Structure 1
Amino acid sequence: MSDSDSNAIFITQSTFVEKLSTDPDTDAVLSDILDMQENTQPNFNLRNSIFSDISSADDESIVQCSMEMEKMDSRFRIPLNTVDLQNMVDSGKSAKTENKTRWAINLFANWQKERERVTKSKQYSSPILEMKDSLLNEALSFFIGEVRNEAGSDYRPNTMYELLISIQHHFRTNGRFVSFLDDKTFSGLKAVLDSKMKELSKKGIGLQRRQADIITQEQEEKLWTKNILGSDSPQQLLDTMIFMIGLNFALRAGQEHRNLRYGEHSQICVKTDTENRTYLEYTEDVSKTNRGGIMHRKLDPKVTRAYENQKQPEKCIVKLNTKFIAARPDNCNNDAFYLRPRKYTQGNVWYQDAPVGVHILQQTVKRLCEQAGFQGFYTNHSLRATAATRLYGAGIDEQLISEKTGHRSNAVRAYKRTSDQQQCDISNILSGNSNSVKVPRLESANGGNTEINIETGAVKIHVKY
């Protein structure tokens, strides 16, 4: 049968189907036509009515695709609203940055009210986001020149700078891109800020940055001998884990501790190296310098290790971690790494199904040092600075120190502290009272003697060869 005949049959079939309801005599004719087509008509008995003209070779992929479509509803969340999206955006912001921004905006609003009261003028009283650039330049210039802290004293120069940058951040998060320090429109404001910072520096205000004190080896030993650190009680073990993790992984303040998780997605896991040595590995997910967003998508996370201490098992971070994890409650619903200690333990369960608050974590190192009677400024940052300083004192390369702390710039230098002995040695060198070691050097390019001079107090040794 030719193609034209086949087409004619289908047309005829269609015509007879339409007449079935009105002309019963067509039944016989239709039956004959269907018999003729039995061996030539394609099979349209498909699995799914949305597909057509698909060969049997594609059946498997069709079935798979259909199954995926049936599962599609589980791949998406319940529809979100704008509030849900805003909460998602807010959760990705730095809490510290947002707090500074609220402080700066509230401070500016209070300045507006006070200036209006004193001058009886509403010139700078309009909402800050509604001010035009020229008016904003004037208002912020007067604000920077007049603002004081609650005690009526000047802020530090760096605080003045952060105050302005926080207000700039407020503008940008509200869809208005301004650049107070680069845009010529705000050149007057920049000049006022620069002059104000110089004026404060001349007065000696803010020249000394308040940095967290480091914890020496001797001080740490006192924490252990006084049983401030240890593993004999829930609170003591919790404090020790915060101390050891902060020191060995060089974490920042309390928020990075609060971000630690337990379970499948924990940043801390137990591993064994090629020499069969056990260690804890910490993999950073988010931090001050790596928020995990668009701008940081290409940054490699910090990955660092803390090996088991076989010589002092009571101070071994791996063993302490094992005991700490085993003391969690069964079927714990909370994935926070640090859980609140139970007042009364239940067998091996030492902790509640509730996380330790960030403020408690932030105060831990300060509390421990106060218990030990240490005088100074101690915070969780002390552990980070201690890690960098100990490595620096041991002659570890700065690159390796940066890998431990996670610094991606020369900022690691601000965390390294010169010890009292190093400062004393420097002073003795300048005063001529130091022990000195001269590196071997060649006396003459044509040959000659190489000399090493070692001077120790009144004893002098001269070696020539």
Structure 2
Amino acid sequence: MSDSDDSIFITQSKENGCLSPIESDLILSEVLDMVESADNKQKTELQPSFDLKSDLFSDISDEELLKATQLIEQNEPARFSVPLKQSDLDNLVKSGLSSKTEKKSKWAVNMFDLWQKNRNKNTDSFVPNNNLINMSSEVLNETLGYFIAEVRTISGKEYKPNTLYEIIIAIQHHLRQQGRLINFLDDAAFDGLRRILDAKMKQLSKQGLGMQRRSAAIISEEQENELWNKRILGTETPQMLLDTLLYTLGLHFALRAGQEHRALRVGENGQITVKRDLQNRRYLEYHEDVSKTNRGGIQHRKIQPKITRAYENIAKPDRCPVNIYEKYISLRPRNCKTDALYLRPLKAPTAICWYCDSPVGVHVLQQTVGNLCKRACFNGHYTNHSLRATAATRLYEAGIDEQLITEKTGHRSNAVRGYKRTSEDQLMQVSGILHGQSDQSKKSKTENFSSDTGSTFQELNLTSGSMSLHLKFTGK
């Protein structure tokens, strides 16, 4: 370094990272001492204690450094995706929508179009042939009022009241997706439509249509034992193991229908893991990612996903959820490409592989519980949702706190109470009380006691079915 240099340039080596604060302060202090000595024309030259070829610094030129940086960037994987088109963004938006909602919306719009053409063909009282999107709010209010009052099923029967409501909401969803941000239930412009819809629903309700909602039946413990005893549930064959896994996971994790089952994955991003607690007890832990009430989008960003456990069944190892899950995982194909949990059974299974590298379809999964109960000759409406209802009902009957039940089901409101089904034993108990049967009606028993202090007290025991009340009265 010559004496004529006006500045001192220090290039920091990428290999060894940044200097520590102490090293930086020491070097700067010595450089300042050199400058001060030069100003005072001291004869003794102070040299800073660093070497440009040491481990801390590099004498690489700026040109070489630029080339090295460019080379690194060329070798790194692409940081951004390839440029997208508008059609790609449209498909991305569609992928975030509920497929069931979109199908229902398309069905409602197609039915409106069919009604529109049929009405104009068969009557002199025409309705506008315009597309729903192009209708003004005034025309929409009038046209949809006629539509909701006249729409019928393919067989010519009336729709149920709730179905009419869903048709209007489905059409509203279609309009919103096309940029028409309207609200049929709140906007003043659609007051006429609301009045007609309300009156039509009341009229149908008076006729007894739609008063009873078809709910999935619960599976009693006796029925579940029957499924095992008839070897409908078990782990002996590929199909039996697959059905039993779905039944077990659906019951212990309170999963919905078939879509949540279809969304289950294995591998790096799997939702189910085998763990042990502090007492070394094994359990399956389920981490929910998306569901009906948690789509993972902007509106649900603050929702805490459901996390629940299914502990091992030591008393009945053949029915243990951990054992069933581990056996199924062990019989999946090695190096499986699909990450779907449920795979199709092989027609010719081997000792180490029972399933092929192909996922089971969502429609097949949706029918699993119904088919199992049909084979057992159970009477009632049984679906995969029966497992969710069964889980909540059993926990209610066992006296489990409602908060723990919502943690199991994933409900974010008191909607979980809708799963509290009245059992046949409870119905018989109520009927017995009204019959005045002595063994079912209220019973009371009073006993008198005396103590050494001379005071007396009474104990009153009241019982009604499974409930009991114990009262104690004291006196002189």
Fold conserved between structures, TM > 0.5: yes
Q: Does 1:252 align with 2:223?
A: no
Question: With structure 2 as the length reference, what TM-score do the two structures score?
Answer: 0.81
Q: Does 1:411 align with 2:418?
A: no
Quote the Cα distance in structure 2 between the aligned partners of 1:404 and 1:69: 48
Q: More helix per residue: 1 or 2?
A: 1
Whether the aligned pair in 2 keeps the contact of 1:260 and 1:337 (CA below 8 Å) is yes
Quote the Cα distance in structure 2 between the aligned partners of 1:153 and 1:319: 51
Whether the aligned pair in 1 keeps the contact of 2:259 and 2:362 (CA below 8 Å) is yes
Q: Does 1:307 align with 2:311?
A: yes
Determine the structure 2 residue equivalent to 1:431.
435
Determine the structure 2 residue equivalent to 1:95.
99
Q: Deviations over 1:40-64 (max 9, x none)?
A: 465599999xxxxxx999989x999
Whether the aligned pair in 1 keeps the contact of 2:11 and 2:57 (CA below 8 Å) is no
Match of 1:148 among 146, 149, 152: 152
Q: Deviations over 1:355-386 (max 9, x none)?
A: 00000000001111111111111100111111
Quote the Cα distance in structure 1 between the aligned partners of 2:446 and 2:80: 72
Query: Relative to 1, partners in 2 of residues 1:142 and 1:278: Cα closer, same or farther, differing over 3 Å?
Result: same
Q: Give 1:393's aligned amino acid.
A: E
Determine the structure 2 residue equivalent to 1:235.
239
**Aligned 1:123-202 pairs, distance under 5 A:** 123-202=127-206
Determine the structure 1 residue equivalent to 2:345.
341
Question: With structure 1 as the length reference, what TM-score do the two structures score?
Answer: 0.83
Quote the Cα distance in structure 2 between the aligned partners of 1:255 and 1:249: 14
Query: Relative to 1, partners in 2 of residues 1:162 and 1:68: Cα closer, same or farther, differing over 3 Å?
Result: farther
Whether the aligned pair in 2 keeps the contact of 1:452 and 1:464 (CA below 8 Å) is no
Determine the structure 2 residue equivalent to 1:324.
328
Deviation at 1:123, TM superposition (A): 3.2
Structure 1, gaps ≥5 residues long: 1-34, 49-54, 457-461
Deviation at 1:313, TM superposition (A): 0.6
Quote the Cα distance in structure 2 between the aligned partners of 1:139 and 1:441: 75
* Corresponding residue SS for 1:345: coil
Q: Does 1:274 align with 2:283?
A: no
Q: Does 1:211 align with 2:211?
A: no
Whether the aligned pair in 2 keeps the contact of 1:453 and 1:463 (CA below 8 Å) is no
Quote the Cα distance in structure 1 between the aligned partners of 2:263 and 2:423: 32
Determine the structure 1 residue equivalent to 2:458.
449
Query: Relative to 1, partners in 2 of residues 1:177 and 1:450: Cα closer, same or farther, differing over 3 Å?
Result: same
Quote the Cα distance in structure 2 between the aligned partners of 1:241 and 1:203: 44
Determine the structure 1 residue equivalent to 2:225.
221
Deviation at 1:125, TM superposition (A): 1.3
Structure 2, gaps ≥5 residues long: 15-27, 29-51, 449-454, 466-470
Quote the Cα distance in structure 2 between the aligned partners of 1:282 and 1:270: 9
Query: Relative to 1, partners in 2 of residues 1:113 and 1:436: Cα closer, same or farther, differing over 3 Å?
Result: same
Deviation at 1:65, TM superposition (A): 8.3
Query: Relative to 1, partners in 2 of residues 1:192 and 1:68: Cα closer, same or farther, differing over 3 Å?
Result: farther
Shifted more, 123-132 versus 79-88: the winner is: 79-88
* Corresponding residue SS for 1:301: coil
Q: Give 1:231's aligned amino acid.
A: T
Quote the Cα distance in structure 2 between the aligned partners of 1:357 and 1:440: 64
Query: Relative to 1, partners in 2 of residues 1:325 and 1:195: Cα closer, same or farther, differing over 3 Å?
Result: same
Query: Relative to 1, partners in 2 of residues 1:67 and 1:424: Cα closer, same or farther, differing over 3 Å?
Result: farther
